Structure 1
Amino acid sequence: MGLLILTAGLMLFLGMHAVRIPNDQRRSGMMARLGKSKYRTFFTVASIVGLVLIVYGYGQARLDPVFVWSPPAAMRHIAALLMLFSMILLAACYVPMNHIKAKLQHPMTLSVKVWALAHLIANGSLADIILFGSFLVWAVLLFKTARRRPIPMGFAGDGPTKVGTLMTVVVGVLGWLIFAAWLHVHLIGVSPFGR
């Protein structure tokens, strides 16, 4: 049952976030039909419901896991390193005037891609493969689509600076340390380093 709930949540959440992948005009058409306010309300509610189903379904599936493979211990260390890059990419979304965002344009999507890959190689249950595999496929497709769209005017703001880039790396590393050393085990119930 947990796997079914997880799959339903992924279909709803990622489906809502994949509207622009086949055709950017699809979202514009839906927004025109429903109105911007109604579309945003529908998008938000559907996304929250999908996320709740993902969290609940994954939690239920972990109670009685179906193991597909047993990742080597080294994968956990590789995943930890990948997560460092993922957190730096995530920080690049929010720290202003950094070279990472200016160069990559879509660091959030790349952060999700690296996060999903890291967890996919370090976990071997069916629920993990469904969850992280789905996010990885979605992020790959979305990034490919996003790179084809024109960069909005004023995207880079005042232009990237060395200070902005340094702050991005510092924030990313600090976020990684806090999450790896403390938050992950408290929120997920698993220590990234197996302690």
Structure 2
Amino acid sequence: MTWAGFAAVFTLFFVSHSIPVRPGIKSWFTAWIGARGFGIGYSALSLAMLTLLIWSAGEAPHVQLWPQLGWHRHAAHMGMLAVCLILALSIGRPNPFSFGGAHDECFDPTRPGIVRWTRHPILLALAIWAGVHLLPNGDLAHVLLFGVLGSFALAGRRLIDHRKRQALGAGRWSALDTARKAAPRVHSPRSWPALVSRLLIGLGLFVFLLHVHATVIGVAAL
């Protein structure tokens, strides 16, 4: 694959992520297939485009910037364990501040869970994923890939904050955020079994990714 082809896939990746979530287009899709259908479809599209982008980085011309050292993979493993746990603790739980949540009307700012630490746990997971993958992938194409995606995740927080303020109303958003920050950083969960289940799911996801990395990405993680 040429650099032009890699750039074309990168452009297609961002177009496929930005156009469907524009308010008018998202409303049309939501009315057609429902909010749940849109969420499933958008997630599937995002995963497919991310897989294509990672593959294209591996096919781009190889320009080495730094060598891979032994500790790079260990750091990536620890980072990915954190990513999997963050995802398991955040997806499908109430979070009116960001995406990936569910039943946001049930959000309790006095017991915000992982949202106490960050309004955007999924974007944090994406930023960590990108950061730890920079270490063992020191060629130019992968540095561009993970550097841009990590920066995109960090910059996306402000954009989502802006959209959520508009959707909730500035007063409501600020009140929820103030209450969230006032909550204890660590508090007892509503359900210990649910917390343990989520942690086990996160660990299971980590083990699963270790084993399928070679098949899906083409490079063994171990």
TM-score (structure 1 length as normaliser): 0.70
Change (3 A) 1:77 1:192: same
Amino acid of the residue matched to residue 36 of structure 1?
A: W
Mind listing any 5+ residue stretches in structure 2 that lack a counterpart? 34-40, 95-111, 181-188
> What is the aligned residue count?
178
Map 1:27-66 onto structure 2 (within 5 A): 27-28=22-23, 30-31=24-25, 36-37=28-29, 51=50, 54-61=53-60, 64-66=61-63
Aligned partner of residue 63 in structure 2, secondary structure: coil
Q: Deviations over 1:29-85 (max 9, x none)?
A: x549xx7239x99x9699688557525522422xx5221111332121111101111
Equivalent of residue 167 in structure 1, options 194, 197, 201: 197
Match of 2:10 in 1: 10
Mean Cα deviation higher: 50-59 or 136-145: 50-59
Aligned partner of residue 69 in structure 1, secondary structure: coil
Q: Provide the aligned C-alpha RMSD in A.
A: 3.9
CA distance in 2, matches of 1:179, 1:52: 13
Aligned partner of residue 143 in structure 2, secondary structure: helix
* % same residue: 24
Deviation at 1:175, TM superposition (A): 0.8
Match of 2:218 in 1: 189
Amino acid of the residue matched to residue 27 of structure 1?
A: R
Equivalent of residue 160 in structure 2, options 136, 146, 151: 146
CA distance in 2, matches of 1:82, 1:9: 26
Q: 1:113 and 2:143 equivalent?
A: no
CA distance in 2, matches of 1:48, 1:189: 16
CA distance in 2, matches of 1:47, 1:83: 19
Match of 1:74 in 2: 71
Report 1 or 2 for greater relative contact order, CA contacts < 8 Å, sequence distance ≥ 6. Answer: 1
Would the aligned equivalents of 1:58 and 1:127 in 2 still touch at CA under 8 Å?
yes
Aligned partner of residue 22 in structure 2, secondary structure: helix
CA distance in 2, matches of 1:171, 1:49: 22
Change (3 A) 1:51 1:123: closer
Would the aligned equivalents of 1:7 and 1:54 in 2 still touch at CA under 8 Å?
no
